[in-house]
Structure 1
Amino acid sequence: MADPRTDDLLDASRVDMPIVPAPVDCMPSVLAAGRVAPVVKVDYYGGTVWDVCDTELARMALADRRLSKDIELAPDWMRIPGEFSGSLPSPEVARIMLMSEGAEHARIRRAHARIFTPRNAAKWAARLTRLADELLDGLAAEAFAGGGEVNLVERYVDPIPLGFLCEMLGLRPERHAEMKHLTDDIIYSPDQAARAGGVGALARAVAGWASDPSSLNEGVITGLLHEVDGEAVVTVDEVVTWTFGLVLAGYQSTASLLSSAIFEALRRPAGRRPRGETQIEAWIEEALRAHPPATHATWRFAAENLDLGGYFIPQGAPVQINIAAANRCPHGELADDFDPGASRDHVSFGLGRHYCLGAPLARVETRIALGAFLSRFPNARLSETTAVGWESDWMNRRISVLPVVLAAITQPDHERLDERD
């Protein structure tokens, strides 16, 4: 394919993006980029990133094979300690599914698909239900005793995906706090040195488990290690790298989705909250659209000079897809727009060959946890004295403080808890 005539194409305008994590909600800034132009440029650690904001162009970019996810195409200036491309091993050591293409991507995806089977999903759903009930039992007992306001992120939202992920990987309970601390640092610390330190510490921890799995329960890590000498030809370095990726992707993103779904429910009177599986599933899809846990997709790189919707993107350019803006264009919605009855589509899990393999599991986790909470505490409400707290940058976004008043449950409810015990 001939290179596009650059003099016939548009040069994207520059916009400011909040690239350093901070205790604020960056969603208004991320959405504002989409109102500037369909494609914009962002200054990022001394380099330039092309940011695709328009809905149709975002869909085109997600499926365009000229926009490659091959990590070898990343420019040297992006290999920043603590940042995404600087947190990965060299391609010669191991590749992750998100940063590979072609036959290598297909091989890695097949290996991961063995994990996300229908049989495992059924088993995991049962475990998630038990975990949610255990956490809610504790909150219910506290509410019955006259307990006041709680940060639901600490008491319910984080422990569900974190506890489930650790169990799925085969990590014992004493590892849970370590996983939370490290992932919080890697994704949300404003200190780049702390992020880089978290990356190193997590990589060393996973490497230690892989070299001596006796400290693990049976789970994903031991399952992958069993493939090292099998026909899948998985290497120990790949087990380490893939586990690292599962930790980062499997905990924080699901926690962000769950907290946003609960937040939107508690902003409304009890009668306007979702009830039943159909309403809850629609609510989750709208939470994914309006509050994507990753406001931008994972990195892509232009394998050649290309014309994207009339904009020139040079070969080698890092390209991002602004998921948050694409989900809301062309209506120019504000950051707090939320309407589960509208049934609007979204690209929060991507599109095409790189569609998120863990999307069904994230939906199951959120459906179970959201439904269980609203059923147990139908009259819970947001605090009137403590503000909801956010942490975000242009890539990631979560609620860090969700202050909730749990309406006191009745004596029979509490007695039923005792009877079940």
Structure 2
Amino acid sequence: MTTTPGSGFFAGLLDPAHRANPYPLYARIREQGPVRLGQMPVVVLSSHRDCATVLRHRAAAVERHHASIPLGPTPVHDLAGDRVGELSGTTSMLFRDAPDHIRLRRLVAKAFTPAVVRGLEPRITALADAALDRAAERGELDVVADLAYPLPITVICELLGVPLDEEPLLRRWSMLLARSLDPISATATGGRPDPGEMVRANNELHDYFERLIRHRRARPGDDLLTALIAAEESGDALTHDELVSTCALLLIAGHETTVNLIANSVLTLLRHGHRHHLAILRTASAFAGPVIEESLRFDPPVQLVPRIARAPIALPGIEIAAGDLVVLLLAAANRDPAVFADPDRFDPARGDRHLAFGLGQHFCLGAPLARLEASVALTRFAQRVRDPRLADEQPPYRDHVTLRGPARLPLTFASITPLR
């Protein structure tokens, strides 16, 4: 096991110089094996074997009170001694272990089963086509702003019963709170979020859902929020704080990662000499599944996740002590040559052994919906956008470490085929 200074290590992850392509850095980290950050009770794992083991391990927790160092509700953010502020959210399932996690997950799981998600396909297809129609009228297309963002935010708002005309506010809050998932190093340069602004965004979002919940109590609807309110009113399934936090989590998690998945997939197909994959997809929509799975491996929207050892965890060559914070570099694990031959090559024929959605009890609840949204968006893009080209070979990336995707992705194109 390698020991290295914590601030320098995370400064490397946060350095904007690595934002466009962090994978050479991940490869160097993976070659070192497990890394303990100086004298801190923090371990970084980057191999597929180690990450998969911890994701499934019974002693791998998400509740912060298990940690031997003080942590905020998002347990990666103050690794190097900085604090983001006391963001609320620990009552959401993202930061709860069993049995509370199982109880909360069960309440929303019915809205994300494969059968229910399949029923959304016509609506998702209509949204993708409408987005491309608007781009055709303007004669310009930014994949992020015009397709990847409006599609999933509309779907999750409609599922929850959130008015879409308030989307600008929701976008601002979501973008700020997504940054709370990032580690912060005192030596990192640039892109540092303002802690006060993040706390204000958190409070404003929760106040918003308090008002919406009051409105929905008076006027129930046919949506997930109404169903969650009914569960809260039953008195034994959901507390009020859990209701508010769960709504906020579903809103943010329900679109942030899918935006990146769609944008990363399009960028990969247009940038890495894989236009032949786009040509196949134009006539064979079933090919979207393998393309999306390989995109999840090759350039995952979630790059790392934290776990806390509530009991010792033994891995080959390392003993993780109770209370250790364990950072799992999923993006590094997804390119582990011990599992994936020629891992830096994009190959949709690989299968789906990636860890992009996690494993175990915290496996992404929204995975079926994300897969469908990305598959539909990519298929309709391939079928309708003729001769798409990157307007910028090196598009700017969002200023995130945990979540990865381009901030903008403008294209040129010959035409967008009208709907018949």
Task: Work out whether the TM-score is over 0.5.
Answer: yes
Judged with a 3 Å threshold, the aligned counterparts in structure 2 of structure 1 residues 25 and 106 are, in CA distance, closer, same or farther, namely same
- Tell whether 2:242 aligns with 1:238: yes
- For structure 1, the 5+ residue unaligned runs are 1-9
- The range that moved more, 251-260 or 230-239, is 230-239
Corresponding letter in the other structure for 1:171? V
Judged with a 3 Å threshold, the aligned counterparts in structure 2 of structure 1 residues 165 and 368 are, in CA distance, closer, same or farther, namely same
Corresponding letter in the other structure for 1:31? Y
- Tell whether 2:44 aligns with 1:51: yes
- Tell whether 2:66 aligns with 1:70: no
Q: Deviations over 1:13-38 (max 9, x none)?
A: 44612465959336236514533422
Corresponding letter in the other structure for 2:42? V
The CA distance in 1 between the partners of 2:324 and 2:74, in whole Å, is 20
Judged with a 3 Å threshold, the aligned counterparts in structure 2 of structure 1 residues 340 and 104 are, in CA distance, closer, same or farther, namely same
SS of the aligned residue for 2:264 comes to helix
Judged with a 3 Å threshold, the aligned counterparts in structure 2 of structure 1 residues 401 and 334 are, in CA distance, closer, same or farther, namely farther
The CA distance in 2 between the partners of 1:313 and 1:400, in whole Å, is 37
Q: 1:197 Cα shift?
A: 2.5
SS of the aligned residue for 2:319 comes to strand
Q: Determine which of 391, 401, 408 is the counterpart of 2:408.
A: 401
Q: Deviations over 1:24-67 (max 9, x none)?
A: 33623651453342211348xx9653111111111111111122
The CA distance in 1 between the partners of 2:220 and 2:407, in whole Å, is 30
- The range that moved more, 127-136 or 336-345, is 336-345
The CA distance in 2 between the partners of 1:101 and 1:81, in whole Å, is 14
Q: Match of 2:118?
A: 122
SS of the aligned residue for 1:155 comes to helix
Judged with a 3 Å threshold, the aligned counterparts in structure 2 of structure 1 residues 401 and 172 are, in CA distance, closer, same or farther, namely same
Figure out how many residues of one structure are paired with residues of the other and give that number: 392
Q: State TM-score, norm by structure 1.
A: 0.83
Which has the higher Rg, Structure 1 or Structure 2?
1
The CA distance in 1 between the partners of 2:293 and 2:49, in whole Å, is 19
Q: 1:375 Cα shift?
A: 0.6
Q: Check conservation: 1:81, 1:192, Cα contact below 8 A.
A: no
Q: Determine which of 29, 36, 54 is the counterpart of 1:34.
A: 29
Taking the TM superposition and a 5 Å limit, the aligned residue runs for 1:21-420 are: 24-25=19-20, 27-28=22-23, 31-42=26-37, 49-75=42-68, 77-79=70-72, 89=88, 95-142=91-138, 147=139, 149-188=140-179, 190-193=192-195, 194-213=197-216, 218-230=222-234, 233-267=237-271, 268=273, 270-273=275-278, 274-275=280-281, 276-297=284-305, 299-330=306-337, 337-343=345-351, 345-383=353-391, 387-409=394-416, 413-414=417-418, 417=419
Q: 1:407 Cα shift?
A: 1.5
Q: Check conservation: 1:260, 1:399, Cα contact below 8 A.
A: yes
Q: 1:115 Cα shift?
A: 1.9
Judged with a 3 Å threshold, the aligned counterparts in structure 2 of structure 1 residues 233 and 272 are, in CA distance, closer, same or farther, namely closer
SS of the aligned residue for 1:312 comes to strand
Q: Check conservation: 2:386, 2:415, Cα contact below 8 A.
A: no
Q: Deviations over 1:104-127 (max 9, x none)?
A: 222112112122234531332221
Q: Deviations over 1:303-357 (max 9, x none)?
A: 1334322213222111111101111113699996422233362111111222111
Judged with a 3 Å threshold, the aligned counterparts in structure 2 of structure 1 residues 204 and 337 are, in CA distance, closer, same or farther, namely farther
Q: Deviations over 1:192-218 (max 9, x none)?
A: 323233222222212222233268864
